[in-house]
Amino acid sequence: MKAHSTAAAPAGNAGPRAVRGARWAAAAVVLGLALLAALPALGINQYYQNMLLLTFLFCVLGCGWNIMAGYAGYVSLGQSAFLGIGAYTAAILAVRWHLSPFLVAPLGGLVAAVFALAVGLVVLRTRGHSFVIITIALLFILQIVALNWPQLTNGSTGITLPLPPFKKPWQTAPFYWYMLALAALSVWLSAWIRRTKFGMGLIAIREDEDKAGIIGINTTLYKITAFMASVFFTGIAGGVYAYYLTFIDPIGMFNILLSVQTVLVTMLGGRGTVWGPVLGAFVLEPLNETSYAYFGSNQSHLVVFGLAMMLIVLFLPRGIIPTVGDWWAARTAAARGADGSAQAAAAAGTAPGAGAAGPRAAAAAVGEEDSA
Amino acid sequence: MRAILRVERLTKRFGGVHAVRECSFEVRQGSITGLIGPNGSGKTTVFNLITGMIPADDGRVIFAGQPIERLPRWERAHRGLARTFQITRLFREMTVLENVVAPLSRFSWRALAQSAVSGPERRRAMELLDFVGLSQLAHRKAGELSYGQQKLVEFAQVLMQEPKLILLDEPAGGVNPAMIDRLAGLVRELNRRGTTFLVVEHNMPMVMSLCDPVIVLARGSKIAEGSPKEVQNNPAVLDAYLGD
């Protein structure tokens, strides 16, 4: 958050160095994406391909959750509900219409957004903590509905999706690429929102919602729009995930653990930052898989989650990116101070000098405005 | 002169306490109107009711000829109503410049998709920061500024809305005397250019030199109104401040 707010502000008078920095960053992102996309063609083994695919899934979940929780400050524990909605939408439509789940997955995103709209209209008119409760409730209600509406969802039996037609060695590569694309789009959406007036309004809501309203920000509309944006790609990812698993049931699809892991991923990387969820996903998902590999498929990975959560709250309450960003800023400031450069002195001098120079500057400014 | 703001029989109860009781008054267009009264007389509650921070139990608020008491607060802002807070409220994690460009004077989907800090808005915000004498601090985090500087940033933020009426809640509270003079100067300057002010203030010298007329509240309703001189010599006012 910190790094981005400061990066956004001086953009207008950015020097050539900042422009060059932005170009390098863009180049690094494109290169990283190309590398990840090339991995299946380079013959990466199934185990790592699966791990990366799930990492991308958590990027999608985390980036989405971050729009609502990181930018607007509304924490939800129901991100996985929208994964389930997307999964069921795609599964039901694919089976009924005899279409590829890949084709109908985007409809899952739309249905998820409509759900978010309906929930948002009820709960986001007001402020405060009801949101987190309602999102947990939504998750469990959807699970109960999915269990008890067999005509639509096949109940506890679950739905078996059509078998993917892809041949070895490309069996899972299309899922990998689809999920990678969704992760990239999620990051793009999150970054785009962060740069816009909409994103600034969300941050204003997080900082002081009453004040945001007073200065003309339609807080209800912002929150509902943000909620819809935060679940859209998650809904699409649900369809892709369902197809990848080829079988879904209510317990697996409306799973609160996925929501908890989404929160964890984003908190670890840095809530409110664009890249936080990505970093968190790339750290936690491999950790998760490793704990499966070491301790077997029992509940021991929950202990790993619990420990990770505790460590984050204790030592990195703001997440990796803001903490490292601050440390870096302090370090460069100290280095500049040691240089004793005129620039640093001038920058520091503006703060105390402002009060004294103020009235004259103000008077001059008034004169200017009048003549203009 | 016509009234830009008319408050009619405004009422607000908190539990059994009447914070504001059938309060009625007018703010003349182009005036700097003072709103004074002893502690607990309902001044800030009146501000909260006018701006929509809290809903009124009863009564009407007519702004620029239209009833606004049922509108959400952002709608009221879009109509040209702005306020500052007794304890300055800025978005502390944002830069000073971001704080100043944050207000919206209308809603449009297209504007939402625009860059947060750009174009004419950015220029206007820098002008306003110049006006309050803080342009050197534009890229600092708002939370890092001194209290007086934060007050000035809030002032610039309010001006960004190009409001018709500005409600100032204790602009001189917790601010050093030099800053008070400066704030009063800015208010006069803006008033000269057509902005109307309604000022809640405890600093009597400031009220008496800045405001005309002055409205006096006690126990949630208006008990007096007039020029600073008239109000000062009104026995009911003396009674409200010193009595019981």
Task: Characterise A270 by phi-psi region: left (phi > 0), alpha (psi -120 to 50), beta (else).
Answer: left
CB distance A238 to A82 below 8 Å: yes
Percentage of residues of chain A with pLDDT beyond 90: 61
At residue A213, the pLDDT reads 95
Residue A26 pLDDT greater than 60, yes or no: yes
Tens-digit pLDDT profile for residues B123-149: 999 999 998 899 999 999 999 999 889
User: What distance separates the 2 farthest-apart alpha carbons in chain A?
Assistant: 77
CB contact under 8 A, B103 and A216: yes
Tens-digit pLDDT profile for residues A130-161: 899 999 999 999 999 999 998 899 888 899 99
Chain pair A-B, CB pairs under 8 angstroms: 154
User: For residues A17 and A28, what is the distance between their CA atoms, to the nearest angstrom?
Assistant: 16
| H or E element at residue A110 | helix A101-123
User: Predicted confidence band at A312 (pLDDT cuts at 50, 70, 90)?
Assistant: confident
Give which of A6, A189, A214 to mutate to test B binding, by max B Cβ within 10 Å. Answer: A214
Burial B96-108 (b: 16+ CB within 10 A, else e): bbbbbbbbbbeee
User: Predicted confidence band at B1 (pLDDT cuts at 50, 70, 90)?
Assistant: low
Closest CA to B128 of B172, B79, B162: B162
At residue A292, the pLDDT reads 78
Chain B environment of A355 (Cβ under 8 Å): 146, 148-149
CB contact under 8 A, A362 and B122: no
At residue A17, the pLDDT reads 74
Tens-digit pLDDT profile for residues A85-126: 999 999 999 999 999 999 999 999 999 999 999 999 998 887
Write out residues 107-166 of B within 8 Å (CB-CB) of A: 107, 111-118, 122, 127, 130-141, 146, 148-149, 157-158, 161
User: For residues B228 and A260, what is the distance between their CA atoms, to the nearest angstrom?
Assistant: 62
Whole-prediction pTM: 0.87
Tens-digit pLDDT profile for residues A231-258: 999 999 999 999 999 999 999 999 999 9
> Of the candidates A201, A220, A369, which has its C-beta nearest B127's C-beta?
A369
User: Predicted confidence band at B244 (pLDDT cuts at 50, 70, 90)?
Assistant: low
At residue A338, the pLDDT reads 65
If you measure CA to CA, which chain A residue comes closest to B178? A359
Dihedral of alpha carbons B106, B108, B112, B113, sign: negative
3-state secondary structure at position B215: strand
At residue B56, the pLDDT reads 94
At residue A359, the pLDDT reads 36
Chain A environment of B92 (Cβ under 8 Å): 207
- Burial (CB count <10 Å: 0-12, 13-18, 19+), residue B202: middle
Closest CA to A159 of A258, A234, A92: A92
At residue A341, the pLDDT reads 46
Residue A345 pLDDT greater than 70, yes or no: no
Chain B environment of A360 (Cβ under 8 Å): 133
Residue A326 pLDDT greater than 90, yes or no: no
CB contact under 8 A, A203 and B72: no
B102–chain A nearest CA distance, Å? 7
Tens-digit pLDDT profile for residues B67-86: 999 999 999 999 999 999 98
3-state secondary structure at position B35: strand
Percentage of residues of chain A with pLDDT beyond 70: 86
3-state secondary structure at position B170: coil
Closest CA to A80 of A62, A97, A95: A62
Q: Amino acid letter at A209?
A: E
* End-to-end Cα spacing for chain A: 38
What's the rounded mean pLDDT across residues A63-68? Answer: 97
Residues pairing with B3 in the sheet:
B28
Q: Amino acid letter at A149?
A: W
At residue B116, the pLDDT reads 85
Residue A355 pLDDT greater than 70, yes or no: no
CB contact under 8 A, B116 and A195: yes
ipTM comes to 0.92
